[in-house]
Chain A
Amino acid sequence: MAQKTPPVRPQPTTRRKFLSDLAAVSTGVAAGTLGLPAWAQKPSTKTGTVRVWGEPGPYAGVAVDAMNEWAKKFAPGLAFKLETLSWDSVYVKLMTDLAARNPAHCISVESPIAYQLMADLLLEPLDDVVQKVGRNRLIDGVKWEYWGAWQGKQYVLPAHHQPHLLVVRMDVVNELGLGDPDKWDWNDLRNAARTIAEKKKDMAGISLALGRNLCTDYHFAALLHSAGGRMFDPANKFQVVFDSPETVEALEYVKSLQPYMPRGAVSYSFLEVVDSIVTGRAGISFYWGRPYGRAAEENKAVFANLQSFNHARHPKTGRRSNWNDFQGWCIPRPNNQYVEEVKAALVYYQTSPQWLVRYCHSLMPNVSPVYKDVLNNPTLQTHPFFETKRQTIMNYYVTSLPYSSSTANEWLRGVNPLAGIVHGRSILAQTVQKVAVDNWKAADAAKWGAKELEQVRKENLRLLGGAV
């Protein structure tokens, strides 16, 4: 009698195994999928190290791997080297290196800083690169200018788009009967945060950043825009419109949420907010897709119950504004001897769906695809997160887009090159802290913030060019 072979149970694919398998198969198969332009195949005899700045996370490393693949084929004397900068030090590093006339040769930055640099004519125009990459490839709901166009020229090439959304622990919300987060307005959100803080031991209702940092700027900007407020009015010579009832309302809303936040939130930045989500110390948060990857490895119970939604509606305006990074690649002009090589390497990697899929896969669902052929690529959906987090992923990738906003393009109604300076000075975060830490009245804080913004505008009229 033949011995019965026990049935083989399929092993669940883990995120890390998936990524390592993917790395093994994707390297070396990139070029040619969309047809690499001859221009990007022109060999270079230059030698040296091409410095590339990227934010923390594996995706910048993937892009640099792709660039090095190009270098191996067409510029063997060059090596692309990634310098990882933490979010809060990007501005300082950028400004000091630019001041020293020694910036990296290629940088990946968020739109506020990119807009500032392009308006200051510190970036190389990339229209020729866009032409080669394919002007018609962008997904629906976005435009090239979201990443960085100024006075008719494109200065920034899309790396990804990246909104922060409402991250919710669904097990907690269901247990406490708090309803469908997709239908919440601001009052429901506050009520949910209060209920969680009161009913769940050792869990904050909501975790937001209130420190003097970029994360606070980004969290508050979404609330400001939802309330119908803005910093500047690009249609009216960039006049400051921050001292408004909408700003006051957004500040008062933050203050009303504060009792349900961790007490340490006044010093929270990106890392602390992620920690509070992943360690299960917060029921709700505003965040990008980053915590999913970490939770999948460190806290499977949290991962299983996390879900992201578009933000709660403002009760009057109905807006659900998020903050979308619109992160892109740009090439600084000063002292850059590798402009042509960086352009060719960017074309190489941006015309390869394999590399672009791998870029997205490296930290799901933190970096959303920007080209249709990548979004619709069957390989993209082979990531194991699609089995359990499809709706969340699609919220980050697609359904968030109608609510995209940022300080650099408020309500997507006009590029604003002053936003980078605003973040460099942490003006929004300081305004929030006036209310959250110093207990100022929201109206006084709004006036203070408006005064600071006016100062930024006055000092940088040159950046506004013909607009003023």
Chain B
Amino acid sequence: MSQAADWKRADSRIGILFIVPFAVTALVFMVYPVAEAVRLAFYHHNPLNPGASSFAGLDNFRALAADPLFWQAFRQAAVWTFSSIVLQTVIGVALALLLHLPLRGISVFRGLLLFPYIVPTVVIALILQWMLNADLGVVNWSLRGAGLIDENVYWLASPGMAMLSTIALNVWKYTPFVTICVLARLQTIPLELYDAAKVDGAGAVRRFVDITLPQLAEVLAVVVIFRTIWTFNKFEEIYLLTRGGPGTSTFNLAIYSFEQSVANLKMGMGAATGVVMMALLFVGSLIYMRVFRFDEEPTQ
């Protein structure tokens, strides 16, 4: 049968029709912005003076490499991402194991778990700002009342504590995502595996290490990779909570990009930062997949 004849087949046309909305949406909202960001990265562009745009070659990337703040933001982004992901994964798995227990009313807790994930970031960040206010906040008030601290803790006003506070917000908000993914996988592990292990005399720890963890490996790989990408790119939590401060102690690359684009009116530099972030995440994801061999077909 010729290609032209294939084209006329009704099911093909319907298939294409179904794909068109996604393709158009992807082109407009994903491909075009990314392409435009990549193009801008090679231009000097001031949004207030767009007529004076000029080709910059690699100037924007050279300027990034020469800017100590870029490297500081990069280091801090690495610390923020690594700490958040480790804590989210450990706490998320632990919570999933707890919620997997066959207890009466456990479904209520499973429902409540979604709460942090549902609350808009802007709401929780603004509430946290007040809760963590050193002088007026309820957190210091409670800790002082419980006799745990003598002096107020400056949660958002000292560089180390500010980084900890932003990490804590991220962990609180996104641990439920890890928990839900892990819980879903836990519920599909055949119980026979545990029964057999018990018969063989394996204790709870042994069963967790030899059965549960290997079964969770693939879902954890996906969760970790997604969470890493999302966390590394995170902007609003840090910006709303600390605006990158005090000083520049909680700057990450997303905040740096925003500052370059909006405060400094250097759209090219901001876009170049975005391109660097994209490249870093792409290469990082490839290495991660390769190291953990998730790109290979399972062998029988």
Chain A contacts to B: CB under 8 angstroms: 88, 91-92, 95-96, 98-99, 120, 122, 211-213, 262-267, 275-276, 279, 281, 421, 424-426, 430, 433-434, 437-438, 462
Q: Could you list 12 examples of A-B contacts with CB < 8 Å?
A: A98-B48, A99-B48, A211-B245, A212-B248, A262-B134, A264-B133, A264-B156, A267-B157, A425-B264, A430-B247, A462-B49, A462-B52
Smallest distance from the beta carbon of A402 to chain B beta carbons, Å?
33
A95-B48, A264-B135, A281-B135 known; A212+B245 contact, CB < 8 A: yes
Residues from chain A with Cβ under 8 Å of B158 in the complex: 263, 266
If the complex has contacts A92-B263, A96-B262, A424-B263, are A212 and B246 also in contact, measured as CB distance less than 8 A?
Answer: yes
The residue among A92, A267, A276, A426 with the most chain B CB atoms within 10 A of its own CB is A267
Which of chain A's residues have a CB closer than 8 A to the CB of B157? 263-267
User: Given A263-B157, A424-B263, A424-B264, A212 and B48 touching (CB < 8 A)?
Assistant: no
**B47 is an interface residue with CB less than 8 A from chain A:** yes
Most buried by A among B244, B245, B248: B245
Q: What is the CB-to-nearest-CB distance from B98 to chain A, in angstroms, rounded to a whole number?
A: 37
Interface residues of B in 221-238 (CB under 8 A from A): none
Task: A120 to B154: give the CA distance in the assembly, Å.
Answer: 42
Interfacial chain A residues near B245, Cβ < 8 Å: 211-212, 266-267, 433
* A211 x B246 contact (CB < 8 A): yes
Can you name the residue of chain A whose Cβ is closest to the Cβ of B152?
A263
Alpha-carbon distance between A425 and B260 when the two chains are bound, in angstroms? 9
- Kindly provide the distance from the CB of B161 to the nearest chain A CB, expressed in whole angstroms: 11
Give the shortest distance, in Å, between B268 (CB) and chain A (any CB): 12
* Chain B, residue nearest A275 (CB): B136
Starting from the known contacts A122-B48, A275-B136, A276-B135, 11 additional A-B residue pairs (CB-CB under 8 Å) come to A91-B262, A95-B265, A262-B134, A263-B152, A263-B154, A266-B157, A267-B162, A430-B248, A433-B245, A437-B249, A462-B52
Q: Per-position contact with A for B145-187: 1 when CB-CB < 8 Å, else 0?
A: 0000000101011110010000000000000000000000000
CB neighbours (8 Å) of A120 from chain B are 48-49
Q: Is B273 an interface residue (CB 8 A)?
A: no
Which single residue of chain B is at the shortest CB-CB distance from A96? Answer: B262
Choose among A281, A421, A437 the residue that contacts B247 (Cβ–Cβ < 8 A). A437
Contact bitstring B119-144, A, C-beta under 8 A = 1, else 0: 00000000000000111100000000
Across the A-B interface, give the 8 residue pairs with the lowest CB-CB distance, nearest first: A99-B47, A267-B157, A437-B247, A264-B157, A264-B134, A433-B247, A266-B246, A212-B245
Complex Cα distance A92/B156, Å?
Answer: 22
Query: Is B247 a contact of A438 with CB atoms below 8 Å?
Result: yes
Residue B243, interface by CB 8 Å:
yes
Q: A263-B152, A264-B135, A437-B159 are in contact. Are A92 and B246 (CB under 8 A)?
A: no
Task: Point out the residues of chain B lying under 8 angstroms from A211, CB to CB.
Answer: 245-246
In the complex, how many angstroms separate the beta carbon of A252 from the nearest chain B beta carbon?
18
In the complex, chain A residues whose CB is within 8 Å of the CB of B134: 262-264
Question: Would A212 and B243 count as touching, CB distance under 8 A?
Answer: yes
CB distance from B135 to the nearest CB of A (A): 6
User: What's the Cα separation between A62 and B62 when bound, in Å?
Assistant: 50
In the complex, A275 Cα to B248 Cα: how many Å? Answer: 24
The CA-CA distance from A421 to B46 in the complex, in Å, is: 12
B242 at the interface (CB under 8 A from A): yes
Q: State A221–B242 Cα separation when bound (angstroms).
A: 23
Partner of B263, one of A122, A276, A425, A434: A425
Q: Complex formed: what's the CA distance from A318 to B157 in Å?
A: 34
Q: Which residues of A contact B265 (CB under 8 A)?
A: 95, 421, 424
Residues of A near B156 (CB, < 8 A) are 264, 267
**Residues of chain B with a CB closer than 8 A to A122's CB:** 48
A266, B247: Cα distance in complex, Å: 8
Query: In the bound complex, what is the Cα–Cα distance between A91 and B258 (angstroms)?
Result: 13
Q: By the criterion CB–CB under 8 Å, are A262 and B48 in contact?
A: no
Query: How many angstroms between the C-alpha atoms of A462 and B246 in the bound complex?
Result: 33
Query: Cβ of B248: which chain A residues have Cβ within 8 Å of it?
Result: 212, 430
Distance A92 CA – B264 CA, assembled complex (angstroms): 10
CA gap between A122 and B51 in the complex, in Å? 14
In whole Å, how far is A287's beta carbon from the nearest beta carbon of chain B? Answer: 17
**CA–CA, A281 and B134, complex, Å:** 13
Once the chains bind, are B135 and A212 in contact (CB under 8 Å)? no
Nearest Cβ distance between residue A74 and chain B, in whole angstroms? 33
Chain A residues with CB under 8 Å of B259's CB are 425
Residues on A with C-beta less than 8 A from B159 are: 437
Q: How far is the CB of B63 from chain A (nearest CB, A)?
A: 10
B137 CB to closest chain A CB (Å) equals 10
CB-based nearest A residue for B156: A267
CB distance from A461 to the nearest CB of B (A): 11
The answer for the CA separation of A266 and B246 in the assembled complex, in Å, is: 6
CA A462 to CA B46, docked complex, whole Å: 12
Complex Cα gap A115–B79 (Å): 41
Q: Is the CB of A267 within 8 A of B246?
A: yes
B-side contacts of A262, CB under 8 Å: 134-135
Question: What residue in chain B is nearest A433 (Cβ atoms)?
Answer: B247
Among B247, B248, B259, max chain A CB count under 10 A is at B247
Return the chain B residue nearest A434 by Cβ: B247
Report whether A91 and B246 are in contact in the complex, using a CB–CB cutoff of 8 Å. no
Q: Which residues 84-141 in B have Cβ within 8 Å of A in the complex?
A: 133-136
Known: A263-B152, A263-B157, A267-B156. A437 touches B263 (CB 8 A): no
Roughly how many angstroms separate A345 CA and B155 CA in the complex, as a whole number? Answer: 47
Shortest Cβ gap from A457 to chain B (Å): 14
Query: In the complex, what distance in Å separates the CA atom of A425 from the CA atom of B242?
Result: 16
Interface centre among A95, A120, A281 (most CB of B within 10 A): A95
Asked whether A212 and B244 contact (CB < 8 A) given A99-B47, A263-B154, A281-B135, the answer is: yes
CA–CA, A212 and B159, complex, Å: 13
Q: Are A98 and B47 in touch, CB under 8 angstroms?
A: yes
- Are B246 and A95 in touch, CB under 8 angstroms? no
| CB of A27, distance to nearest CB on chain B (Å) | 35
In the complex, the chain B residue whose C-beta lies closest to that of A92 is B262
Chain B residues positioned under 8 Å from A91 (CB to CB): 262-263
Contact A426 B263, CB 8 Å, known A267-B242, A433-B246, A433-B247:
yes
Which residues of the other chain, B, contact A263 by a CB distance below 8 angstroms? 134, 152, 154, 157-158
CB A113 to nearest CB in B, in angstroms, measures 12
With the chains together, A265 CA to B152 CA distance in Å?
Answer: 13
Distance between A101 CB and nearest chain B CB, rounded to angstroms: 9
> Which residue of B has the minimal Cβ distance to A438?
B247
Contacts of A462 in B (CB 8 A): 49, 52
Q: How far is the CB of A281 from chain B (nearest CB, A)?
A: 7
Q: Please indicate the chain A residues that have their CB under 8 angstroms from the CB of B264 in the complex.
A: 424-425
